[in-house]
Structure formats: C-alpha cells, structure tokens
C-alpha cells in the first residue's frame, strides 16, 4: 500500500509499505477514505519530535471503512464507516476511567507517532471499540475528518477548560485550525464578545465570517490597547492556540481578575510566567492534551448542522500528491491554506 513515511528532520516520502494486519484481538484494520495534515505533523516534519522512529507512517486524523475487526471488537464490523480518533484509548485503565483518554496507559496520542498512522491506504487501530466512532450518514466524510482532532481539541482544552459562559468576553490567540475550532465551539456557550488575534489577515477575515465579533492583528496593532478599548479591564477567558512565548504573553496580559487562561498550544520552549503580577488576580490556568471525550457530543452537534465547517477546508489532494500537500501546508499563509483534505480514492 502507499503510505507517507517519516525518515527524520525534513525527510518524508510517499512509499510502498505492507498492508497492516491484526496484532491484538482488540485491533481493527481501517481502509482510509480521507485524511489530513495537522500542524503537529508539520512540527514532526520540521524535526520537533526526534523521538519518532525512522520509517514511521505519519498522520492521526481520518475517516475510513472497517476492513477487518479483531475477534474481541464488539462495536464495529467490516464495512462500518468510522471516524478515527487522534487519541487511542483502552477504556479501562486508571486514566481512561477518569476520561483522561489522552493519558491512557496503553494509548493516548500514539497514531502517527509511536505506531503507524493514517496517511496511508490502510491503518491498524488498537483498542478499536474505544478509539473509533461510527460516522452518521448525515456527516460528509471530509467534515468527519475535522472531528478526529481539531474540533475536540478546541472544544475540550480551549472552551471547556476555559469555562466559557454566556455573556463572557473571550479572546482566542491563534486563528489556525485549532483556534478556529475554539471559535466555532465557543459559540455553543453564547459568549458576548469573541476577539480573535493572529498575524495572518486572511485567517482573521475568515474568523470574522465564522463568528468573531472583533479581530486584532498582533503584528500591526497594539493588542493591549485594543483589548482595553473593547472590554476595559480585560477578558474573562484567554485561549492560547499557537504554542510560542509571544502568544502566552498576550494571554497573561489581557485577562481580568477571576479570569481563565486555557493553554491549547504545544510549547517547545519555556515561557516567561509573570507570577509576580498574576498571583493577585485569582486566575485559573489550565493546560492539556485533547481527550476526545466530547467527540460523541460533537458528532451529534455537527450532524445537526450547527457549524459552517466547510469554510475550514481550503485544499484537496490525492494520497499520491501528499508530499506536495505538505509543501502547500508548510506555506500556509502564502497559500491561504487552513485544512487540507487528502483523498484516497
């Protein structure tokens, strides 16, 4: 089968690989229909994760058909259309019992990282009963792909951890696919003000279309002054969806007393945490890796057409063109790329 294989820093290639087989009775083999490239995959490509083995097939988001189910799999059978969660979970360990699936003792984020992933014709999914979800006919395959990672990430680690409430003023720093997912799912909870902050004008314009009440270009505007002019003391919730010191700094400076800072971005270096200014502010600061515990709820919300998700999808490629797709996504700002769908047919 064709698969996108990692060979180290800036070295990926589309190669011929053997089709995966069932290794444990709880596994399922999925014929991948559609997948995508995540910001996290770009990080891997750029050498952020040297721990990944040479030869690993990348990718952790996708939708497909069950090709074969192991003998202990009870929830899925050959031919079922399934959403592949970016998080694999056993459902029975200490962390799974607390719904902290991302910390599953025999799972977590392993796909396209510790085990072969979904940027391929077929993928083996361990603990299939807990790691796959049936896709209702009312959801398009390419929309379903957005439910593997970005929508639950934005919803759980941004909106829920940030405790967005009706009437709140919230700020989202980072208008990438994850920040846009925060923007969309925050609207379940009716905040009155949603400020999107980024340096990419195209993405800011799209944020406005998707429900942001205000946009700020932090590359050209004074963020603090603009926030003050909109909300006075600061926002009730600041959500960090970039993962660099500069954007953490924006979040810690724009919150009012009693606020929440929800960090979603994956950070590679230390930040300057201004505890000497913040200790007095009665803040709640949260961090985390997506658990995908709200995926079933999001599937229902998406199938009820609650979101304008098509606008997040900017490009389509065939699996045979995936190396080119990586190059387009690497130049996301210039190419106006947000979410790229890779089609296996």
Ligand X SMILES: NC(=O)c1ccc[n+]([C@@H]2O[C@H](COP(=O)([O-])OP(=O)(O)OC[C@H]3O[C@@H](n4cnc5c(N)ncnc54)[C@H](O)[C@@H]3O)[C@@H](O)[C@H]2O)c1
Indicate which single residue of 218, 226, 293, 344 sits in contact with ligand X (rule: CB under 6 A).
Answer: 218
Per CB under 6 A, does 295 bind ligand X?
no
The owner of tokens 């913040």 is: 278
Helix (H, G, I), strand (E, B) or coil at 42: helix
Smallest distance, ligand X to C-beta of residue 18, A:
29
For residue 247, give Cα distances in angstroms to 67, 84, 244, 265: 43, 31, 6, 9
Give burial (CB, 10 Å; 0-12/13-18/19+) of 19.
middle
Query: What is the distance between the alpha carbons of residues 55 and 57, in angstroms, rounded to a whole number?
Result: 6
Smallest distance, ligand X to C-beta of residue 64, A:
20
Per CB under 6 A, does 285 bind ligand X?
no
- Which span sits near Zn ion by CB under 5 A: 42-50, 63-71, 144-152, 314-322? 144-152
Per CB under 6 A, does 62 bind ligand X?
no
Smallest distance, ligand X to C-beta of residue 1, A:
26
Is residue 111 within 8 Å of 84, Cβ to Cβ? yes
Per CB under 6 A, does 175 bind ligand X?
yes
Indicate which single residue of 4, 28, 96, 111 sits in contact with Zn ion (rule: CB under 5 A).
Answer: 96
Indicate which single residue of 177, 292, 301, 309 sits in contact with ligand X (rule: CB under 6 A).
Answer: 177
Is residue 44 within 8 Å of 140, Cβ to Cβ? no
Query: What is the distance between the alpha carbons of residues 145 and 143, in angstroms, rounded to a whole number?
Result: 5
Per CB under 6 A, does 289 bind ligand X?
yes
Smallest distance, ligand X to C-beta of residue 4, A:
18
Per CB under 6 A, does 290 bind ligand X?
yes
Is residue 309 within 8 Å of 288, Cβ to Cβ? no
Per CB under 5 A, does 156 bind Zn ion?
no
**Angle 306-309-312 from CA coordinates, rounded to 5°:** 155
Which CB sits closer to Zn ion, 91 or 245? 91
Interface ranges with Zn ion (CB under 5 A): 38, 40, 89-90, 93, 96, 104, 149
């Amino acid at each position: 089968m064709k698969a996108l294989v990692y060979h180290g820093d800036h070295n990926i290639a589309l190669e011929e690989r053997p089709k995966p087989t069932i290794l444990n009775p709880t596994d399922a083999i999925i014929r991948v229909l559609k997948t995508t490239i995540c910001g996290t995959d770009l990080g891997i490509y750029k050498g952020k994760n040297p721990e990944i083995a040479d030869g690993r097939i990348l990718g952790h988001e996708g939708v497909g058909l069950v090709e074969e189910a192991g003998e202990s799999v009870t929830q899925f059978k050959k031919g079922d259309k399934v959403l592949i969660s970016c998080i694999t979970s056993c459902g029975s360990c200490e962390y799974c019992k607390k719904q902290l699936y991302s910390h599953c003792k025999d799972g977590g984020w392993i796909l396209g990282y510790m085990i072969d992933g979904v940027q391929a014709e077929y993928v083996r999914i361990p603990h299939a009963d807990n790691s796959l979800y049936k896709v209702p006919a009312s959801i398009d395959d390419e929309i379903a792909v957005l439910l593997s990672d970005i929508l639950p990430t934005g919803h759980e680690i941004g909106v829920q951890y940030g405790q967005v409430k009706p009437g709140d003023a919230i700020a989202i720093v980072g208008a990438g696919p994850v920040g846009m997912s925060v923007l969309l799912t925050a609207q379940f909870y009716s905040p009155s003000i949603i400020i999107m902050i980024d340096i990419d004008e195209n993405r800011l314009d799209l944020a406005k279309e998707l429900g942001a009440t205000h946009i700020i270009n932090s590359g050209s505007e004074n963020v603090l002054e603009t926030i003050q002019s909109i909300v006075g003391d600061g926002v009730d919730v600041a959500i960090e969806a970039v993962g660099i010191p500069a954007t953490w700094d924006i979040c810690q400076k724009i919150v009012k007393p009693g606020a929440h800072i929800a960090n979603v971005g994956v950070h590679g270096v230390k930040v300057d945490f201004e505890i000497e200014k913040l200790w007095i502010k009665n803040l709640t600061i949260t961090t985390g890796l997506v658990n995908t515990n709200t995926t079933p709820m999001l599937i229902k919300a998406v199938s009820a057409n609650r979101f304008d998700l098509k606008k997040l999808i900017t490009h389509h490629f065939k699996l045979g063109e995936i190396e080119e797709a990586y190059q387009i996504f690497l130049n996301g700002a210039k190419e106006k790329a947000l979410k790229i769908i890779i089609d296996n047919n």
